[in-house]
Amino acid sequence: MTSRTPRVLTAAAILLPIVAAPAHAQSLPLVTALDSAFATHPTLDRAEALEESASQAASSARAARWPTLSLRSGLTRFEEPMLANPIHAFDPSLFPEFDRTLVQSQLFAGYTLLDWGARSGSIGAADAQQHAAAAAIRGARAEVIEHVAEAYFRLVAARAVDAAAAARIVALEEERDRAERALAAGTAAEVERLRAAVALQDAEAQRTTTAGAVTLAERTLARVIGTTPERVVAAELDTVDPSGPVEAGGPGRGSHPTIEQASGRVEAARSRAALARGPRWPRIDMSAGVNQFGTLDLAPIFEWQAGLSLSWEIFSGGSRTAAVRRADADVRAAESELAAVELEIATAVDAARTAIEAADARVAALDASVGQWEELVRIESLALEAGAGTQRDLLDAEAGLFQARAGRIEAASEAFLARVRLAAAEGRLDRSWILRMSGGA
């Protein structure tokens, strides 16, 4: 089974209750949609795979802290007899053994005693990259939450606007029927029936547009959370009011995943700079081993060896200096990138707070507008029944009420999405934040 298989099974476990329930009882809370997206979204798959790669790279780099141990063994057949064991002195009484088939083995251990920071630089760079990759997972989760929340509340708004359009059609059908009854009774002119019919046709045309927007929003949400449109179509969504207080907070170096990633890249660049400076100085290595010599017919002879070695590349044609300068330039670039990320996040925070203020003001204004239009529709309807009003005024009032309700719904959704963007900009966007904002425990 692949690493993706458990995630797919998790998604199935999340969505199965929704599919198995009767159509009228299905429910898809925002948090459930998030869990489904977490289990299936490719952005998270990629981030987790990169973090696993960085983790293994860090483990590989840390292995340099330990000595290396290797074993070599071989059997060689020569055309002419060869020395079966080494000669350590010239003594006529010590006649060496010869054989055409030699068996030789070596158990060898090596360790770098001094490399002037090259090893620690390599480990530091790998650890910093692993930290950045772990922060990238948090960033990917926040990105997925943004996508799901936007798709979710776009669908909430689209359904609500479509419901308002359907309610307007019902009201216009009642007005058309009233005009037809009045025309039959001789108390209204033909123009009133025609005017009601035209308004009804216009409302039905608008309903076609709003219904299409619902279909598109359902497909978009289904794609984001990794399910089929049919499952989303049959599901009821959260009806929580998207507005709410703006939480205090702000981006910080130790919390924002994007800043953590940029900081990790700075630390990795600094460690690579230390790694590049290591070869400027001599390197000291220690080695030790056990050698075995023999043949198929003779008992093996064992000998040990140990030593220190110093290596120093005195002249490299300028490549070493160029590597150091390149590493320093990479550090400056990473530090500049960190500063740019902090600036971008600060700008995003300001933009999100401004958007929240504007959306909240629009919601408040449209709340008042909806109330006024509802009262106006009531008055115009009573006036028309009493013969003191006109049908045109009633139809205009109903159209205004429809527009105000649709605008209020869209503004409320935008108010919540602005809060999502603010939480993302401040590094606070996660599942618990969504659960708290949507009224969960």
Could you tell me where the beta strands, DSSP code E, fall in 255-384? 283-295, 301-311
Q: What pLDDT is stored for residue 247 in this prediction?
A: 56
Whether 91 has a pLDDT exceeding 80, the answer reads no
Model confidence at 71, pLDDT cuts 50, 70, 90, reads very high
The single residue listed with the structure tokens 């330039």 is 329
Buried b (16+ CB within 10 A) or exposed e, 14-49: bbeebeeeeeeebebbbbbbbbbbbbbbebbeebbe
Task: Give residue 297's pLDDT.
Answer: 83
Q: At 216, which amino acid appears?
A: L
Q: Mean pLDDT over residues 394-415, rounded?
A: 84
Asked if 295 and 237 touch (Cβ cutoff 8 Å), the reply is no
Radius of gyration of the chain (CA): 38
CA 405 – CA 367 distance, rounded (Å): 8
> Is pLDDT at 440 greater than 80 in this prediction?
no
Burial, 72: exposed, middle or buried (Cβ in 10 Å; 0-12, 13-18, 19+)? Answer: exposed
Domain ranges in the chain? 7-88+97-437
Q: What is the pLDDT of residue 211?
A: 93
Q: What is the pLDDT of residues 115-157, one digit of tens each?
A: 888 888 899 999 999 999 999 999 999 999 999 999 998 898 8
Q: Tell me: pLDDT of 208 over 80.
A: yes
Give 312-361 pLDDT, tens digit per residue: 888 888 888 898 999 999 999 999 999 999 999 999 999 999 999 998 89
Tokens of 230: 């049919």
- The mean of the pLDDT values for the chain is 84
User: Given pLDDT bands bounded at 50, 70 and 90, which one contains residue 200?
Assistant: confident
Question: Stretch 255-275: mean pLDDT, rounded?
Answer: 90
The pLDDT value given to residue 414: 87
Is 11 a residue whose pLDDT tops 90? no
Superfamily of 7-88+97-437 according to CATH: Outer membrane efflux proteins (OEP) (1.20.1600.10)
Output the CA angle 315-317-323, nearest 5 degrees.
100
